Amino acid sequence: MSKIGVFICHCGENISATVDVARVAEAAGQLEGVAFSTDYKYMCSDPGQTMIKQAIKENGLNGVVVGSCSPRMHEPTFRKACQEAGLNPFMCEMANLREHCSWVHDKSEATTQKAIDLVRTLVEKVKLNKPLFSIQVPVTKTALVIGGGIAGIQASLDIASAGHQVILVEKDPSIGGHMSQLSETFPTLDCSQCILTPRMVEVAQHPNIKLMTYAELEKLEGSIGNFKATIRKKAKSIDEDLCNGCGTCTTKCPTKKIPSEFNTGLGMRTAIYVPFPQAVPNKPVIDKENCSYYQKGKCKVCEKVCPTGAIRFDQEDELVELEVGAVVIATGFDIMQPSGFPEYGYGKYKDVITGLQFERLASASGPTLGEIRRPSDGKIPEKIVFVACAGSRDPAKGVPYCSKICCMYTAKHAMLYQHKVHHGKSYIFYMDIRAAGKNYEEFVRRAIVEDEVNYIRGRVSKVYEENGKLIVKGVDTLLSAKPVEIEADMVVLASAAVANPGAEALAQKMHVSYDSYNFFSEAHPKLKPVETNTAGIFLAGACQAPKDIPETVSQASGAASKVIILFSKDELSRDPLIAVVNRSPAPVFSTCVGCFMCASACPYQAIGEELITNRQGKVIKKVAKVNPGLCQGCGTCVAFCRSKSIDIQGYSNEQMCAEVIALLNHE
């Protein structure tokens, strides 16, 4: 006989403001099989959980329905409470009265009625729940980190230092990411490479880190604790064991006029190249699309000059399969190309550049060796105009969100310029100054007060060239509200930070959620900011949303600690909500007829054959059998089964049917 306990939560006022909770509890109490029903202000609080535990013990409950928030929020909390009171945790279900009812409807009779309907539905379901037991699976204590920017570097170092193996995969020839391109960093103005490159070297030398550069994730299968990743190692056309990084090939390569990605097109590189002098690993790759030998079949200069004979023109992409227990995604961000804003003249005038290009101009390792010079004629600019929010906070043509880092780096750019060109004048057109962060506001003040950067609150309407000058037309919306015109030598656009172009495809390969901007979604915006919806996959850095370096590093360490927690046990428990093929007494054994439609539908190859034999060992029936280690519980097989012989625990045919009937039938 069912003895169900129903617990309705007020969630402070979140539910009780629009739902008559007392009446829901009362109506639930009238349902057949409900032995106990009550409501309370905060069910998830300690007294709330104690109330559930006591009710289970005192009333001998064999099922619990908690009507509160989304099960995605507190299902583990309440299942644990049930377990502590001696009830099987899978005998607890949650009715979502907050996200699916009280928050989306106004206070009315219909809202309360809906809450009652939802509770009744789950009461009918829980009556059919069966005690289930978690599945123990071994954990592969190797982490896969995707992306070798500062986020990936930090996460790798933390996990590796805790004693676990790490495989760091980077798509470019060197790790370092965007941070290696930056000149100085706000708000301390310490040199980006000076603080980054030691970390890069540490990664290369760490005994627990295996670095795979010029490689990308091809496929990810499996689940938490036991993923199988396939990595495509793109052909570098060199033998890495033989190459000693002497650099002769890169100096002798005759194809020298390729715009360097690292220098954002402001400098040139050769076809066989190392992206930048401090690259890790410091070994070249051949860019096949620009190499004369690959394109025209002639040249091979690098092969001739290489002292160790390390050039391999016949090298092919290699697919490597790896067993990993957890994945950290740290693929970073990209800069929106401001070509969608013709009024700024980017692409038309050489001296209109992006913020990232300015970083390269200001960097000591950059194409101008740190001198601020115009890309067009190499002159030192006397006046620079910086345009903040060039694409950010612009729902019409750019992105609606704030890119977060631009206010700070624009202040930094103006400051660096003033430090290098003392007589120069800098102007910043801005919408708002968003300088929330430790020492950030002070930094912006310093730019204004000490370095005399002119902040103009207003937008730029047009940039055009006249007599070798860039005329910037804008408006000053403060005090005067007058049009402003500045004759500038250079214009720097703080273009929006956007998701990487490959982010969507990567998310689909890994089955993690992503938002409408293609940034990866965290499992919970506040309480699970580094987890994804897919267990065992974590996020670090700007692949989730635009972030500055301190925030990225913190999140990377957060993700690393989640991986380390996962690796702290040899086995982990998995929800037993998996498919099972029924069994019955002889002579039927199972209603399964062995058509194996289920096996063809299963995305995990989790369904195999089982031979049922008689006492003489003769095979009398062949039926399907689910491998509980592989089954992920999607239930596709259940919908396919013609004889209804396979069913999924926790979402069984009987339970779903009971839910449908209960939901639709009320007086």
Partner 1 sequence: MTEFEPKIIAFVCNWCTYAGADLTGTSRIKYAQNVKIIRFPCTGRIDFMLLLKSFGEGADGIIVSGCHPNDCHYTSGNFHARRRWIMFRGLLDMLGIDVRRIQYSWVSAAEGFKWADIVNSTVNTIRELGPYTEYEKVAGYLEKEANQ
Which residues bind to partner 1, rule: CB under 8 A? Answer: 70-72, 96, 98-100, 103-106, 108, 110-111, 113-114, 117-118, 121, 507-508, 511, 513-516, 521, 525, 533-534, 577, 601, 603-604, 632-636, 638-640, 648, 651, 653, 656-657, 659-661, 663-665
Task: Output the smallest distance, CB 106 to partner 1, in A.
Answer: 7
**Of 96, 73, 79, residue with least CA distance to 19:** 96
- Contact present, 287 and 238 (Cβ < 8 Å): no
Closest to partner 1 by CB, 207 vs 525, is 525
Closest to partner 1 by CB, 110 vs 478, is 110
Q: Please work out, in degrees rounded to the nearest 5, the angle formed at the alpha carbon of residue 614 by the alpha carbons of 609 and 618.
A: 70
CA distance linking residue 337 with residue 498, whole number of Å? 10
Helical segments of 363-405, H only: none
Residue 140: Cβ within 10 Å count: 18
Structure token digits, residue 532: 């994804």
Q: Please work out, in degrees rounded to the nearest 5, the angle formed at the alpha carbon of residue 398 by the alpha carbons of 397 and 400.
A: 110
Structure token digits, residue 479: 């005090």
Closest to partner 1 by CB, 219 vs 304, is 219
- Contact present, 295 and 304 (Cβ < 8 Å): no
- Contact present, 257 and 268 (Cβ < 8 Å): yes
Task: Output the smallest distance, CB 113 to partner 1, in A.
Answer: 8
Q: Which helix (H) or strand (E) holds 211?
A: strand 209-212
Task: Output the smallest distance, CB 554 to partner 1, in A.
Answer: 24
Cis? peptide before 281, omega within 30° of 0:
yes
Task: Output the smallest distance, CB 607 to partner 1, in A.
Answer: 14
Closest to partner 1 by CB, 369 vs 505, is 505
- Contact present, 525 and 311 (Cβ < 8 Å): no
Closest to partner 1 by CB, 10 vs 178, is 10
Task: Output the smallest distance, CB 604 to partner 1, in A.
Answer: 8
Residue 234 main-chain phi, psi, to 5 deg: -65, 145
647 class by beta-carbon count within 10 Å (0-12 exposed, 13-18 middle, 19+ buried)? buried
Task: Output the smallest distance, CB 606 to partner 1, in A.
Answer: 11
Closest to partner 1 by CB, 349 vs 651, is 651
Task: Output the smallest distance, CB 644 to partner 1, in A.
Answer: 9
Task: Output the smallest distance, CB 533 to partner 1, in A.
Answer: 6
Closest to partner 1 by CB, 105 vs 459, is 105
Residue type, 547: K
Task: Output the smallest distance, CB 536 to partner 1, in A.
Answer: 13
Closest to partner 1 by CB, 384 vs 606, is 606
**Of 87, 89, 77, residue with least CA distance to 57:** 87
Closest to partner 1 by CB, 292 vs 582, is 582
Instruction: Provide the 8-state DSSP code for 427.
Output: E
Task: Output the smallest distance, CB 114 to partner 1, in A.
Answer: 5
- Contact present, 109 and 22 (Cβ < 8 Å): no
Closest to partner 1 by CB, 177 vs 222, is 222
Closest to partner 1 by CB, 61 vs 506, is 506
CA distance linking residue 147 with residue 138, whole number of Å? 26
CA distance linking residue 310 with residue 428, whole number of Å? 50
- Contact present, 555 and 547 (Cβ < 8 Å): yes
Task: Output the smallest distance, CB 528 to partner 1, in A.
Answer: 12
Closest to partner 1 by CB, 244 vs 643, is 643
Task: Output the smallest distance, CB 504 to partner 1, in A.
Answer: 9
Task: Output the smallest distance, CB 278 to partner 1, in A.
Answer: 38
Cα 86 → chain centroid: 38
Task: Output the smallest distance, CB 104 to partner 1, in A.
Answer: 5
Structure token digits, residue 91: 């005998």
Residues in the chain: 667
Closest to partner 1 by CB, 44 vs 258, is 44
588 class by beta-carbon count within 10 Å (0-12 exposed, 13-18 middle, 19+ buried)? exposed
- Contact present, 404 and 349 (Cβ < 8 Å): no
CA distance linking residue 256 with residue 236, whole number of Å? 18
Task: Output the smallest distance, CB 28 to partner 1, in A.
Answer: 16
Task: Output the smallest distance, CB 637 to partner 1, in A.
Answer: 9
Closest to partner 1 by CB, 107 vs 379, is 107
Closest to partner 1 by CB, 192 vs 500, is 500
Residue type, 155: A
Q: Is the dihedral of CA 180, 165, 285, 245 positive or negative?
A: positive
CA distance linking residue 310 with residue 84, whole number of Å? 64
Residues paired with residue 322 on neighbouring β-strands, in sequence order: 229
Q: Is the dihedral of CA 613, 614, 618, 622 positive or negative?
A: negative
Closest to partner 1 by CB, 320 vs 601, is 601
CA distance linking residue 149 with residue 330, whole number of Å? 7
